[in-house]
Amino acid sequence: MVSALNNIKVIDLSRILAGPWASQMLADMGAEVIKVERPIKGDDTRFWGPPFVKAATANQPPQAAYFHCVNRNKQSIAIDISKAQGQQVIKDLIMQADVLIENYKVGGLKQYGLDYESVKKLNPQLVYCSITGFGQHGPSANKPGYDAMIQGEGGLMSITGEPEGMPMKVGVALVDVMTGLYCSNAILAALMARHHTNEGQHIDIALLDVQVAALANQGMNYLATGENPDRLGNGHPNIVPYQTFATQNGSIILAVGNDNQFRKFCQVAQCPEIADEPEFATNEQRVINRNTLIPIIAGKLVLHTTQWWVEQLEHVDVPCGPVNTLDQVFNHPQVKHRKMVRQVSNKQGDLIDTVSSPINLSATPLQYHSASPDLGQHSKQVLSQWLNYSDEKITQLYLSSIVS
């Protein structure tokens, strides 16, 4: 079966989450992704457990569940790039590649001759994607950047959490995930541009830029008013009612997006007169008068179970849903129908559960052919098939500990 990115070769020099998230997307689409790791330890996230999918052995580091969320469909080669021979192996790979992804600090690869200005001389058609905390230039360019600190510095935490509580980060490394998504989009755009220019280019992606861009309506709310948005807990700054409410036996998300839906909700809640009151009749007025309206709605929703409300409101097309735990999510009939969990096999033939990509292509469907690799699992294969290295040269690299 032909894949969307058939014959695209990617060198992944990135670690942790943002870069590997991008390269996994490309791998799912059919690109051949070579994950370059440090000998002995490999990617840091191999150790980020428990839980672990595989325990450490005499010859292999452990494999945390975290590592497996982002490294399927890849080949692993372990190379010591601090040594000249290791750098040459990377350069030889680059000459065969279409894309390189890296997340070293600004200028960190220049000492190895692997910065963009150096490697574009080897391969002018290479698409080179650099991921940093703050970008390749500017007063903060040399600062390290991690997801949680960027959620804070980029404003997301200031608008997340209860009004009287502490600023809160999101429950997953959302900035890293969004950065990976922006990277994969930029890489695909650069590959398309290459058809017109016959040249590659340097992509500069910063976690802080991504977070600022992803402020979305809240960012525009500030630009329109000059006022800092308040934390609203699970409420929405621009739509009311659009938040969680307690029910008789749990919680429900009520997502009323227009005035007609609000009127239908009021009918189900047996308070149709509320929809006619001037201070609640339009979304604008409901936002202005949220502190009056929300307690009234809360008093209605607590009278019945979550299931009762979902059934009644779905019947009249009012958007709502339960607040599910992950066991409920993965047992959700729609999630199962959409095959959002698949099984992939590792080197030993064991089947590993993986969370599917949400991308569904009709003619070139995504593939799930292998679990995250063991460290250096494909070193010999890559050196032989990509670079046509002789057995003697490969053996020499192993004996000198350049490759493992």
Active site residues: 176
Secondary structure E strands in 96-221: 99-102, 127-132, 202-206
List, in sequence order, every residue forming a beta bridge with 221; answer none if it has no partner: none
Report d(CA 259, CA 199) in Å as an integer: 52
Residue 46 to residues 11, 17, 176, 320, Cα–Cα distance (Å): 19, 11, 17, 38
Please enumerate in sequence order all residues whose Cβ is within 8 A of that of 215, keeping only pairs 6 or more positions apart, or say none: 154, 155, 156, 159, 222
Q: What is the CA radius of gyration of the chain?
A: 25
Residue 353 to residues 29, 314, 330, 360, 370, Cα–Cα distance (Å): 19, 32, 12, 19, 11
**Is the Cβ–Cβ distance between 372 and 68 less than 8 Å?**
yes
| 3 state DSSP class of 23 | helix
C-alpha closest to that of 248 among 304, 206, 202: 304
Secondary structure E strands in 112-201: 127-132
Return the ∠ at Cα 139 (arms to 137 and 141), rounded to 5°: 45
155 residue type, one letter:
G
Report d(CA 18, CA 101) in Å as an integer: 10
| 3 state DSSP class of 140 | coil
Q: Dig out the tokens for 18 from the structure.
A: 């943002």
**Distance, first Cα to last Cα, the chain:** 32
Report d(CA 211, CA 174) in Å as an integer: 9
Secondary structure E strands in 55-174: 63-64, 74-78, 99-102, 127-132
Residue-level length of the chain: 404
